[in-house]
Amino acid sequence: MRQIACLHTAASNIKLFDAACPPGLALRHVIRPDLLAEAEAAGGLTPAIAARTAAAIAALATTGIHAVLLTCSTLGPALAQTRAAIPLLRADAALAEAAMRGGGRVVALCAVETTLAPTAALFGPACETRLVPGAWAAFRAGDAQTYAQMVAAAADAAFAEGARCVALAQASMAPAAALCRNGTPLTSPAASLAALA
């Protein structure tokens, strides 16, 4: 059984990754909401926040852990400055790879503004990155149902406009996939854990 340490910034992500976990992997979860809160307050990932994120990731790369998975899209770029003897993976990087495979029009949806720039950089110019207005306010207010409905509506709109693939860039958006009617978006919990498996 391979042990995967997951660094989250929202406790609600634990059940999303547990639900998507394939056989052969065991997940250990660490929650650091402070890192995302700091990034939101700063308007994005700063060098200081990236350094603290990298230190948190390195601390998880301990004996018995086979890989570390960073599940927060806003903090994702910090992985590039992390050094460890085991594989390190951004959940959104696995999502981007899965989404861009096969060509065609790809739309990546984000709920929080601090995720827009790292998502656009990760997916590249061939992908259209969009913000779902108001969705993050619903998430922050604890209204998971409205949050998922808003994301699903945005995904359905993208499919209706001709997108071959819609990617839900943040792990917290995953429940919206089950509500979509025009297609099935890709989610980072499923894509990243499949990559690790």
Q: Which amino acid is at 169?
A: A
Q: Provide the pLDDT confidence category of residue 102 given band limits of 50, 70 and 90.
A: confident
User: pLDDT, tens digit, for every residue of 18-61?
Assistant: 999 999 999 999 999 999 999 999 999 999 999 999 999 999 99
Query: pLDDT for 58-75, tens place per residue?
Result: 999 987 899 999 999 999
Is pTM beyond 0.85 here? yes
- pLDDT the model gives residue 46: 96
Question: Could you give the CA distance from residue 48 to residue 56 in angstroms, rounded to a whole number?
Answer: 13
| Residues in contact with 110: Cβ distance below 8 Å, sequence separation at least 6, in sequence order | 73, 116, 119, 129, 130, 131, 132, 169, 170
Region at 194 (left for phi over 0; alpha for psi -120 to 50; beta for the rest): alpha
Mean pLDDT, rounded, of the chain: 95
